[in-house]
Copies of this chain bind each other. A is one copy, B any other.
Amino acid sequence: MTEQPGRRERKKAATRKAIADTALRMFLERGYDAVGIREIAAAADVAITTLFAHFPSKEALLFDEDPQREQRLIRAVTDREPGRSVPDALRRHLHEAVRELATPGSMAFWQLVDSSPALREYATTMWLRHEAALATALAADLGRPEPSTLCRAFARFVLGVHPLAREAADPAAAVDEIFDLITPGWDAAVAAGPRAHARVTAADAEPAREA
Protein backbone atom coordinates (compact mmCIF):
# COMPACT_ATOMS: atom_id res chain seq x y z
CA MET A 1 0.00 0.00 0.00
CA THR A 2 3.00 2.28 0.46
CA GLU A 3 3.38 2.67 -3.27
CA GLN A 4 5.37 -0.12 -4.76
CA PRO A 5 5.02 0.57 -8.43
CA GLY A 6 7.22 -2.35 -9.35
CA ARG A 7 10.50 -2.25 -11.11
CA ARG A 8 8.90 -1.91 -14.49
CA GLU A 9 7.02 1.25 -13.75
CA ARG A 10 9.93 2.67 -11.87
CA LYS A 11 12.16 2.17 -14.86
CA LYS A 12 9.56 3.65 -17.11
CA ALA A 13 9.22 6.70 -14.92
CA ALA A 14 12.99 7.02 -14.78
CA THR A 15 13.25 6.91 -18.56
CA ARG A 16 10.50 9.48 -18.85
CA LYS A 17 12.13 11.77 -16.35
CA ALA A 18 15.51 11.40 -18.00
CA ILE A 19 14.03 12.43 -21.32
CA ALA A 20 12.15 15.40 -19.88
CA ASP A 21 15.14 16.60 -17.87
CA THR A 22 17.50 16.28 -20.79
CA ALA A 23 15.08 18.14 -23.04
CA LEU A 24 14.52 20.95 -20.56
CA ARG A 25 18.22 21.39 -19.99
CA MET A 26 18.96 21.52 -23.72
CA PHE A 27 16.08 23.89 -24.35
CA LEU A 28 17.25 26.25 -21.64
CA GLU A 29 20.79 26.12 -22.91
CA ARG A 30 20.18 26.58 -26.60
CA GLY A 31 16.57 27.59 -27.12
CA TYR A 32 13.53 25.59 -28.05
CA ASP A 33 13.75 25.85 -31.81
CA ALA A 34 17.46 25.22 -31.92
CA VAL A 35 17.15 21.76 -30.38
CA GLY A 36 15.77 18.93 -32.48
CA ILE A 37 13.99 15.81 -31.42
CA ARG A 38 16.78 13.66 -32.75
CA GLU A 39 19.32 15.50 -30.62
CA ILE A 40 17.23 15.11 -27.51
CA ALA A 41 16.77 11.42 -28.09
CA ALA A 42 20.47 11.00 -28.67
CA ALA A 43 21.39 13.00 -25.57
CA ALA A 44 18.94 11.02 -23.45
CA ASP A 45 20.24 7.84 -25.05
CA VAL A 46 16.87 6.58 -26.22
CA ALA A 47 15.36 5.97 -29.62
CA ILE A 48 13.14 8.59 -31.16
CA THR A 49 10.23 6.21 -31.03
CA THR A 50 10.81 5.73 -27.34
CA LEU A 51 10.72 9.45 -26.84
CA PHE A 52 7.40 9.66 -28.61
CA ALA A 53 6.11 6.71 -26.63
CA HIS A 54 6.46 8.85 -23.52
CA PHE A 55 5.55 12.26 -24.91
CA PRO A 56 3.02 12.82 -27.65
CA SER A 57 4.76 15.84 -29.09
CA LYS A 58 7.77 18.07 -28.77
CA GLU A 59 5.82 20.64 -26.82
CA ALA A 60 4.76 17.98 -24.34
CA LEU A 61 8.42 17.70 -23.33
CA LEU A 62 8.01 21.09 -21.72
CA PHE A 63 4.39 21.11 -20.61
CA ASP A 64 4.25 17.94 -18.71
CA GLU A 65 2.21 18.25 -15.54
CA ASP A 66 -1.19 18.48 -17.13
CA PRO A 67 -3.07 15.52 -15.62
CA GLN A 68 -3.36 16.89 -12.12
CA ARG A 69 -3.86 20.43 -13.27
CA GLU A 70 -7.32 19.71 -14.52
CA GLN A 71 -8.17 17.83 -11.37
CA ARG A 72 -7.17 20.74 -9.16
CA LEU A 73 -9.10 23.11 -11.34
CA ILE A 74 -12.29 21.10 -11.10
CA ARG A 75 -11.87 20.60 -7.39
CA ALA A 76 -11.52 24.32 -6.93
CA VAL A 77 -15.16 24.41 -7.97
CA THR A 78 -16.55 21.27 -6.39
CA ASP A 79 -14.62 21.38 -3.11
CA ARG A 80 -14.90 25.08 -2.43
CA GLU A 81 -15.79 26.08 1.07
CA PRO A 82 -19.51 26.57 1.60
CA GLY A 83 -20.68 30.11 1.15
CA ARG A 84 -18.14 30.90 -1.51
CA SER A 85 -19.40 31.56 -4.99
CA VAL A 86 -18.04 29.71 -7.99
CA PRO A 87 -16.34 32.77 -9.52
CA ASP A 88 -14.68 33.58 -6.23
CA ALA A 89 -13.44 30.02 -5.86
CA LEU A 90 -11.97 30.14 -9.34
CA ARG A 91 -10.52 33.56 -8.67
CA ARG A 92 -8.72 32.12 -5.67
CA HIS A 93 -7.50 29.18 -7.66
CA LEU A 94 -6.10 31.44 -10.34
CA HIS A 95 -4.42 33.60 -7.73
CA GLU A 96 -2.60 30.54 -6.49
CA ALA A 97 -1.64 29.50 -9.98
CA VAL A 98 -0.38 32.95 -10.80
CA ARG A 99 1.58 33.19 -7.59
CA GLU A 100 3.76 30.33 -8.79
CA LEU A 101 4.93 32.48 -11.66
CA ALA A 102 7.28 34.29 -9.32
CA THR A 103 9.21 31.10 -8.54
CA PRO A 104 12.76 31.32 -9.90
CA GLY A 105 12.47 28.04 -11.79
CA SER A 106 9.16 29.17 -13.14
CA MET A 107 10.56 32.43 -14.37
CA ALA A 108 13.27 30.75 -16.41
CA PHE A 109 10.68 28.36 -17.76
CA TRP A 110 8.29 31.05 -18.93
CA GLN A 111 11.08 33.11 -20.31
CA LEU A 112 11.91 30.11 -22.46
CA VAL A 113 8.29 29.81 -23.50
CA ASP A 114 8.11 33.44 -24.45
CA SER A 115 11.17 33.11 -26.63
CA SER A 116 9.26 31.13 -29.23
CA PRO A 117 5.96 32.36 -30.68
CA ALA A 118 4.88 28.80 -31.39
CA LEU A 119 5.41 27.90 -27.74
CA ARG A 120 3.53 30.96 -26.57
CA GLU A 121 0.52 30.02 -28.60
CA TYR A 122 0.74 26.46 -27.39
CA ALA A 123 0.81 27.64 -23.80
CA THR A 124 -2.28 29.73 -24.41
CA THR A 125 -4.24 27.04 -26.20
CA MET A 126 -3.17 24.32 -23.82
CA TRP A 127 -5.56 25.50 -21.13
CA LEU A 128 -8.55 25.27 -23.41
CA ARG A 129 -8.29 21.49 -23.31
CA HIS A 130 -9.89 21.64 -19.89
CA GLU A 131 -12.80 23.66 -21.13
CA ALA A 132 -15.17 20.74 -21.44
CA ALA A 133 -14.34 19.45 -17.98
CA LEU A 134 -14.71 22.84 -16.33
CA ALA A 135 -17.91 23.59 -18.21
CA THR A 136 -19.37 20.31 -17.07
CA ALA A 137 -18.41 21.04 -13.49
CA LEU A 138 -20.02 24.47 -13.74
CA ALA A 139 -23.19 22.98 -15.17
CA ALA A 140 -23.28 20.34 -12.46
CA ASP A 141 -22.93 23.05 -9.86
CA LEU A 142 -26.00 24.72 -11.33
CA GLY A 143 -27.84 21.42 -11.25
CA ARG A 144 -27.92 20.95 -14.98
CA PRO A 145 -26.85 17.73 -16.64
CA GLU A 146 -25.25 19.33 -19.67
CA PRO A 147 -23.17 22.49 -20.01
CA SER A 148 -24.98 25.39 -21.61
CA THR A 149 -23.36 28.00 -23.78
CA LEU A 150 -23.06 30.16 -20.69
CA CYS A 151 -21.05 27.51 -18.87
CA ARG A 152 -18.86 26.85 -21.87
CA ALA A 153 -18.16 30.52 -22.38
CA PHE A 154 -17.42 31.16 -18.74
CA ALA A 155 -15.15 28.14 -18.63
CA ARG A 156 -13.24 29.31 -21.66
CA PHE A 157 -12.85 32.78 -20.25
CA VAL A 158 -11.60 31.47 -16.92
CA LEU A 159 -9.07 29.32 -18.73
CA GLY A 160 -7.90 32.39 -20.55
CA VAL A 161 -7.08 34.20 -17.35
CA HIS A 162 -3.74 32.58 -16.71
CA PRO A 163 -2.16 33.40 -20.06
CA LEU A 164 -3.54 36.91 -19.90
CA ALA A 165 -2.32 37.49 -16.37
CA ARG A 166 1.08 36.14 -17.24
CA GLU A 167 1.58 38.84 -19.82
CA ALA A 168 0.51 41.59 -17.45
CA ALA A 169 2.88 43.69 -15.43
CA ASP A 170 1.09 42.76 -12.20
CA PRO A 171 -0.35 39.26 -12.66
CA ALA A 172 -2.27 39.21 -9.39
CA ALA A 173 -3.97 42.50 -10.15
CA ALA A 174 -4.71 41.25 -13.64
CA VAL A 175 -6.47 38.20 -12.24
CA ASP A 176 -8.74 40.43 -10.22
CA GLU A 177 -9.31 42.75 -13.11
CA ILE A 178 -10.37 39.94 -15.42
CA PHE A 179 -12.56 38.26 -12.83
CA ASP A 180 -14.22 41.58 -12.15
CA LEU A 181 -14.95 41.65 -15.85
CA ILE A 182 -16.69 38.30 -16.09
CA THR A 183 -18.14 37.84 -12.63
CA PRO A 184 -21.04 40.33 -12.77
CA GLY A 185 -22.43 38.79 -15.93
CA TRP A 186 -22.18 35.34 -14.48
CA ASP A 187 -23.90 36.30 -11.27
CA ALA A 188 -26.67 38.00 -13.20
CA ALA A 189 -27.19 35.02 -15.47
CA VAL A 190 -27.24 32.60 -12.57
CA ALA A 191 -29.64 34.76 -10.63
CA ALA A 192 -31.95 35.03 -13.63
CA GLY A 193 -31.98 31.29 -14.06
CA PRO A 194 -31.82 29.13 -17.18
CA ARG A 195 -33.06 30.61 -20.45
CA ALA A 196 -34.09 33.83 -18.76
CA HIS A 197 -31.72 35.94 -20.77
CA ALA A 198 -34.06 36.14 -23.75
CA ARG A 199 -35.45 39.42 -22.50
CA VAL A 200 -32.18 41.17 -23.10
CA THR A 201 -31.68 39.50 -26.41
CA ALA A 202 -33.21 41.87 -28.95
CA ALA A 203 -30.16 44.09 -29.12
CA ASP A 204 -29.70 43.89 -32.87
CA ALA A 205 -33.32 44.57 -33.73
CA GLU A 206 -33.61 48.11 -32.43
CA PRO A 207 -31.09 50.88 -33.11
CA ALA A 208 -29.29 52.13 -30.05
CA ARG A 209 -29.76 51.12 -26.48
CA GLU A 210 -27.54 53.05 -24.17
CA ALA A 211 -24.52 55.25 -24.20
A189 touches B180 (CB 8 A): yes
Quick one: which of B88, B182, B209 contacts A208, CB cutoff 8 A? B88
Chain B residues within an 8 Å CB radius of A173: 149, 198, 201
> Chain A: how many interface residues by the 8 Å CB criterion?
53
Q: Which of A145-192 contact B (CB under 8 A)?
A: 148-150, 152-154, 156-157, 160-161, 164-165, 167-168, 173-174, 176-186, 188-189
**Which of A48-56, A78-86, A106-114 is the interface stretch?**
A78-86
**Which of A4-12, A13-21, A121-129 is the interface stretch?**
A121-129
Closest chain B residue, CB of each to CB of A204: B95
B177 touches A197 (CB 8 A): yes
Chain B residues within an 8 Å CB radius of A188: 180, 184
Quick one: which of B148, B149, B184, B209 contacts A185, CB cutoff 8 A? B184
Q: Which of A41-85 contact B (CB under 8 A)?
A: 81-85
A84 touches B209 (CB 8 A): yes
Quick one: which of B81, B167, B180, B204 contacts A200, CB cutoff 8 A? B180
With A177-B189, A180-B185 given, name 10 new contacts (CB 8 A). A84-B207, A85-B210, A92-B203, A149-B165, A150-B177, A152-B167, A153-B160, A153-B181, A182-B185, A184-B185
